[in-house]
Chains A and B, each alone.
Chain A
Amino acid sequence: MSRRIPWTLVVLLLALTIPWFGSRYYTFLATQIAILSLFAVSYNLLLGTTGLVSFGHAAYFGLGAYATGLLMKELNVPFLLALLAGGLLPAAFAGVFGYFCVRLTKIYFSMLTLAFAQIVWAICFQWNEVTGGDQGISAIPYPELGWIGAIPGLGGFRTGDHFYFACVVLVILCIWVLGRITDSPFGRLLTTIRENPERASFIGVDVRRYELAAFAIAGGFAGVSGALFGIFNRGVFADFMFWPKSAEVLIMTILGGMNYFWGPVAGTIMMVVLNQQITSYTEYWPLVLGTILLVLLFAFPGGLMGALDAGAKRLRGQKTGGGDA
C-alpha cells in the first residue's frame, strides 16, 4: 500500500499562508480561487466520479448565491445559517430537477440539465420583485468576522483577509466532506456507474437513485460555493446561472484533470490566474485564453494533474533505475 499524504491538510495550510504576503491583490485572487474550487470539486462528483456530464451546474451555484444573499440582506439571517440555506435550497432543487434528468442518459441527460438551468436563469432574470431582475441584488452585507482578528497571531489583517480565512476553512471543510463521500462505498458504486451502468445495475446498484443522490449532493455544494461568491462579489446577478458559467466549470474540471480528486482545484487555479494575467495585457483575452486551453487540452489529455502524475512516475522510475514498483 502506498503511504498516504493528508492532502486536505496540506492544501489548507498552504492556502492559509496567502494573507501573510500582505498583498490585497493576492488575497483577492486566492479568495476567488478558493470559492470556485469548491464549485469545480462539487461538479467533479458528477463528471469524474459518476460520469455524468451536466451542462447546468451553474443553476445551483446561482440558487445558493440568491438564497444566502437574500436571507442576509432582507432578513438579517446570520452568515452561517444563511450559508446552510444556500446549500440546502439548491440541493432540493437539484433533487427535483435531477429526478427528471436521470431518467435520460448521455447527451439527453446533459441537454435536460441545461434546459432546467436556463429556465431557472430566465425566472431569476425576470422576477424583479424578488431577485432584482437584470439589476440583481447588490450591497449584500459582509459577514461579521472581526473576531478572527482577535485570534492570537491573526491581528492586523484587513476585512478582506478575514473573509478569506473564513472561506478557506469552509471550502476545505466542504471539499473534505466531498472527499469522504467520493471514497465511501456510495462513491465507489458511483464509479461503477461511470464505468458501466448496465453492469452496475446487475451487481445490484439502483443506477437512477445513485445518480439522483450524486446530483443533489453536487448541487448542494455548488450552492455553498455560489453563496460565498455572492458575498465576495458584494452582489448576486442572473449571470451566475447563465450557461457560460456551466461551461466554465466543465472546462476548469477537465483542464485540471477529472480523474483526480484535486484536479478541479488545479484547473481553477489555472483558469483564474490565466484570466487575470491575460486580461491585464490584452482586450482580446477570450481569444488568447481559448487558444491556451486548446493547446493544454491537446498536450495534457489527463489534465494538469494527469501531466504531473505522469511526470512524477517518470522521475520515480528513473530513481529506482527502471525497476518495477
Chain B
Amino acid sequence: MLDIDNVTKTFSGFTAVSGVSLTVEKQQIAAVIGPNGAGKSTFFNMITGHLTPDSGAIRLNGRDITGIAPHKICGAGMGRSFQRTNIFPKLTVFDNVQAAYLAHRGKGGNFWSPAERFYRDETEALLRSIGLWEQRESIGGVMSYGAQKQLELGLALASDPALLLLDEPTAGMSATETHEAIRLLERIAGERELTLLFTEHDMEVVFSIAQKIAVLHQGRKIAEGTPAEVRADPEVRRIYLGHH
C-alpha cells in the first residue's frame, strides 16, 4: 500500500530524517512514535507532499508520489489530519464537509450552479457516521476541541481515502475524548477498510490499536515491529520507554 524507501530530509545542515524506510500493508494500522524532535512530523510531511525529501522515494500503491503537490497526493487516495486542528473555522460543519466533497470530486470548475445543491446526501451520511450530524449548523471554529478533531477526520474521509494519515489524532484531548476518538477511529477504519498510519505520543493509545509500530529517534528508525516486539526491544526501552 504505502512504501517509503530510505527517505532523508535536511534543513540547513540539520538532518531531521535520515534514511528511514517503512512499509504499511493494506488495512494495517501502523504508528510512528518517538520523543519530541525525533523527526515524526518531518517524516509525515514528506509522505503528504508538504515537504520534498532530499533523497529516497515514496510509493502509494506502486505509484511514485515523491515530492508531488499535496492536492495531487490527496487525489491519489491519501487523506490526512493535522496535529494542530485544521478545519475551515468560519464555515458550518456541513459546509466544511460539503466543500471537501466538491473539491475531491472535481466540481471546482463549475462557476455557475449553486454549490449548496451538491453532495447533500453524501455529506449527511458522513456527518452521521462521525457523529456530527446534530451539530451540522454549528460554526466549525467555535466547537469543542474534540468535535473539531472529529470534523477534521470528516474532511479527510470525504476524499474517500484508502490510506489515512493522522498526525497526533488525540493531542490535547481529555482522557474521555481520547477514548471516544480512538473508538471512532477503529470503527471508521473497519467500516471503510482503511489503512491507517499515525503518529502519537500517548503510549496507551499506540499500544491499544496499532498492529505495527516504528520508532524514530534523532531522525533514524531504531526499531520496528509488533507492539510486543517494540515493547521488548532493549534500545527502545533504554531511550524511549525509559522506566520499563
A contacts, CB < 8 Å to B: 180-181, 183-189, 191-192, 195-196, 198-207, 210
Contacts and interface: CB of A to CB of B under 8 A. Distances in A.
A188 B99 contact: yes
A66 B90 CA distance: 40
Contacts of A199: 82, 86-88, 155
B71 A205 contact: yes
A198 B104 CA distance: 15
Given A186-B111, A189-B99, A204-B74, A196 B104 contact: no
B90 to A, nearest CB: 6
Nearest to A199: B86
Nearest to A193: B88
Contacts of A180: 111-112
B86 A198 contact: yes
B143 interface: no
A186 B114 CA distance: 10
B168 interface: no
B69 A206 contact: yes
A210 B103 CA distance: 11
Contacts of A201: 69-71, 74
Given A185-B118, A196-B88, A198-B86, A203 B111 contact: no
Nearest to B165: A202
Interface in B122-175: 155-156, 158-159
Nearest to A205: B103
B242 interface: no
Contacts of B114: 183-184
Contacts of A206: 69, 71
B115 A183 contact: yes
Contacts of A202: 48, 70-71, 74, 79-80, 156
B74 A191 contact: no
Contacts of B116: 183
A204 B89 contact: no
A305 B59 CA distance: 51
B84 to A, nearest CB: 10
B86 A203 contact: no
A180 B111 CA distance: 7
A187 B90 CA distance: 15
B91 A195 contact: yes
B197 to A, nearest CB: 15
Contacts of A207: 71
A155 B116 CA distance: 43
Contact of A203 (B90, B112, B158): B158
B208 interface: no
Nearest to B108: A189
A198 B80 CA distance: 12
A188 B95 contact: yes
A237 to B, nearest CB: 33
Contacts of A187: 111, 115
Given A184-B113, A207-B71, A192 B86 contact: no
Contact of A204 (B71, B86, B95, B115): B71
B109 interface: yes
B103 A192 contact: yes
A205 B112 contact: no
A206 B158 CA distance: 17
A287 B74 CA distance: 52
Contacts of B159: 203-204
B176 interface: no
A220 to B, nearest CB: 13
Given A184-B115, A195-B91, A196-B86, A189 B102 contact: yes
